[in-house]
Amino acid sequence: MAEELRTAFDQADQTQSALVEEIPDLEGSGGIYLEVELNRLTGAEIIERKTENTRQSAEKVSEDGTRTIALFVPDDARDVLENIISDYTEGEITSKSGSPPLAGRVEPIEHIREARLRTFWRDDQDALPTEPQEQIWWALWCFPDSLEKVVATAGTLGLQLGTNDTFLHFPEIIVVPAYGRVSSIELLLFATGGIAELRRATDNPLVFTQDLKDDIPAFIDDLAERVTWPQADAPAVCLLDTGVNRAHPLIEPALSIDDLMSVNEAWGGDDHDGGPGHGTGMAGLSLHGDLVAPLADQSNHILAHRVESVKILPPNGFPPNEPHSYGPITLSAIAKAEIQNPLRDRVFCMAVTNENRSGAENSAWSASIDQAAAGAELQDPDNLSPKRLIVVAAGNIPDNSNAAAISDHDAFPMQDPSQAWNALAIGGFTQKTAIAEQGYEDWTPSAAVGEASPYSRNSILWNSSKSAFKPDLVFETGNRAISPSGQEAVAGLDSISLLTTSKEVDTNPLTGFWATSAATAQAARMAAQISADHPDYWPETVRALMVHSARWTPPMLEAIDLGTSRRDKADSIRRFGYGVPNIVRASASAADDLALVAQNTIQPFRKDKGIRFNEAHIYELPWPREVLEELGNTAVKLKVTLSYFIEPNPSFGSVIDPARYQSFGLRFDLKRSRESSADFHRRNNAATQVPGGAAASTPDSGWLFGKQQISAGSLHSDIWEGVAVELAARNQIYIRPINGWWRERKGLKRFDDKARYALIVSLETPDVEIDLYTPIEAMVPTLIPVGMEIR
């Protein structure tokens, strides 16, 4: 057995060396995995020892009774194991029973060998893929204290993980869905030492809507008992929809009867939509997200936000809303909620769109949303009116059984009012590809894992030089199924949809839900979660945090990389926004992914022998210069996101010239590495003096999109990539105003008005493990501006 152990150690070392050769950036697990086979007479056995930091997992019993266990052995515990076996085989027998030393630990062991991928596979052994490049959805059963390392390493290896809401939490295990190749999973397994078992990921809504349908009430009651429900004064998602059935056990504790409202009292507040109810489905997702994971796990859930409902669509028996009336209806609904609870923070969520109008140009409805977001219903020169975060849907590609008719997503422009500059417009992507319904065994998903949703519209057909970049973000929408012939498309299969609450509480309490409505509800939920975690953050800041936290999936990144120009790359934003946001990244900064946040007020213009630009803000970025210089040519990423709300003026000509629509605009600029502070300030000061405050033409390579490509709208985000030593000298950022109607329309006398903005700057060192947080935290906790008058 001693020889077996040494052989296993040698083989494991060779495996680790191969890992380092293949992926040099992998840190390694700090140990190796062994497969320990116990003799058939041995029952359940604990072979791990806390004192040695060994850890057992993936216990299996074969048909012939052979029991195997995976054992993680830290590097500093190898000698301990070797000594134990050596003492057993060669040591002096001193016990009265005549047994060798440590016989109780050694004798149950039949064989020791290097662990393999199959050692950890707990499903049918024949179902384990054998081709290294084959891709499937895996269920990674992770040790909780290793989750962060597993997630980070998975990203390095290019694996696609499910969103945080899809993780299953158990007392000693967290199950993470991951999509990727066999070879990548093998690298992840042996490079982290943090995975206990591997299985095929199979959880989907069909399990609850079909397989376990009779047990649904028990699952719902169990989850309701595990939820810590929100306080009455908690922030809320305010749904502008078809109403909500608050009798649902997963909704009622978070929705007061007084918060069930309607713009027309005669309509009532209950969900009038046919079948499972659109508004009730939105409520479930806005509170809990996709219900598959929380119903399936055993963890306690804390809800820090509530839900409100204002019905804006008439029930049967009432005349439909006039198409031109949705602007006033939306403003009325917002006022209704705020009058009911004037002190409550809220995020407004509306998945209603005008199916007959593209969002290519501003409309009365979209301008009303911009006005409401900016708090501009009343003139407010001191900028004291409440601002609002309004989340809207991109609109859906219509259902069509003819797959070819809906295959070109670019042919379906986003719908009114998703063009609203200040709103957070939500499109879709999907990770749901496992079709499980009977009769659809040979059907395939319309979109592959991580691709843009087959339901979601985009803004490619909008006037790309004038219109805002939309969608801002993408969330899970579910998928469509395509027939074996490729000619037929089917929407709404439960197995490739999300799971949410239904208004049919007694007969059908859970239902599948899909398309951009599902994505919009999830986006509003994340916004409310951030608001609850950071009550001091403005709506502009919450929007910026969500966008700043977003990352593109591998298929999205591939599409961006295929762009031959910055304009081509920027077009990708019009397909899938700034990516998929992450609540953990939005709410907190990791040690090697640091975000600095500023909230500030600026007066863009002043009257001084005419209407002039008034002030700019300069931020000293607290980079640890010595640390960055030591990193030398190590690649680093700097991400900048600037968010503010404009006051709209949808007058004649505003479509042609954005300065006629926006009250003001802002731009950011980063100091060049070889530029002095004085030259940097002088260059940007001069830039504001040219017509429109156009950006200076000084070349600035390294940006993914470039300032000209992200200039539209009231949200600007870009990524600079370069070497650490250069970034060490790029330690200032300049925020300056550009033209708007506050300046151009002198007769309206708005030139002295002030405006708010949020700025987020983050620094990442993706290829090295280094703590940037500690030295930055020691220098300054937040970004602090230095004001500069523009002369």
At 40 the pLDDT is 72
At 335 the pLDDT is 95
Lowest mean pLDDT of 55-69, 437-451, 496-510, name the range: 55-69
91: confidence class by pLDDT, cuts 50, 70, 90: low
DSSP string, 727-763: HTT--EEEEEEE--HHHH-GGG--TT--EEEEEEEEE
| Cα 775 from Cα 758, distance rounded (Å) | 23
The alpha carbon of residue 46 and the mean position of all alpha carbons in its chain are separated, in whole angstroms, by 39
At 782 the pLDDT is 57
Q: pLDDT tens across 335-344, in order?
A: 999 999 999 9
As a whole number, mean pLDDT of residues 660-683 equals 91
Lowest mean pLDDT of 222-226, 328-332, 570-574, name the range: 570-574
What are the angstrom distances between the C-alpha of 506 and each of 150, 226, 285, 287, 338? 41, 21, 19, 20, 33
As a whole number, mean pLDDT of residues 699-724 equals 89
| Cα 592 from Cα 764, distance rounded (Å) | 6
Q: Beta partners for 33?
A: 72
pLDDT at 579 over 90: yes
| Cα 571 from Cα 675, distance rounded (Å) | 31
At 499 the pLDDT is 97
pLDDT at 384 over 80: no
| Cα 112 from Cα 655, distance rounded (Å) | 73
Residue 450 in tokens: 């991580």
At 383 the pLDDT is 63
Using the structure block, give the residue that is written with the tokens 């359940």. 44
At 583 the pLDDT is 92
At 520 the pLDDT is 98
Lowest mean pLDDT of 318-322, 591-595, 648-652, name the range: 591-595
Lowest mean pLDDT of 163-177, 662-676, 699-713, name the range: 699-713
pLDDT at 307 over 50: yes
Beta strands in 323-380 (DSSP E): 346-350, 354-358
pLDDT at 348 over 70: yes
As a whole number, mean pLDDT of residues 156-162 equals 91
Q: pLDDT tens across 496-528, in order?
A: 999 999 999 999 999 999 999 999 999 999 999
pLDDT at 692 over 60: no
| Cα 278 from Cα 501, distance rounded (Å) | 10
Residue that wins the pLDDT comparison between 789 and 188: 188
Residue 120 in tokens: 């950890």
Phi-psi region of 375 (alpha: psi -120 to 50; beta: other; left: phi over 0): left
Average model confidence (pLDDT) across the chain: 87
Q: pLDDT tens across 549-577, in order?
A: 999 999 999 999 988 888 888 889 999 99
pLDDT > 70 in the chain, percent: 87
CB atoms within 10 A of CB 29: 22
At 736 the pLDDT is 94
Q: Structure pTM?
A: 0.91
Write out the H or E segment, with its range, that includes residue 18. Answer: helix 2-22
Q: Provide the residue type at 318 as one letter.
A: F
As a whole number, mean pLDDT of residues 154-179 equals 90
pLDDT at 240 over 80: yes
Lowest mean pLDDT of 28-32, 298-302, 618-622, 640-644, name the range: 28-32
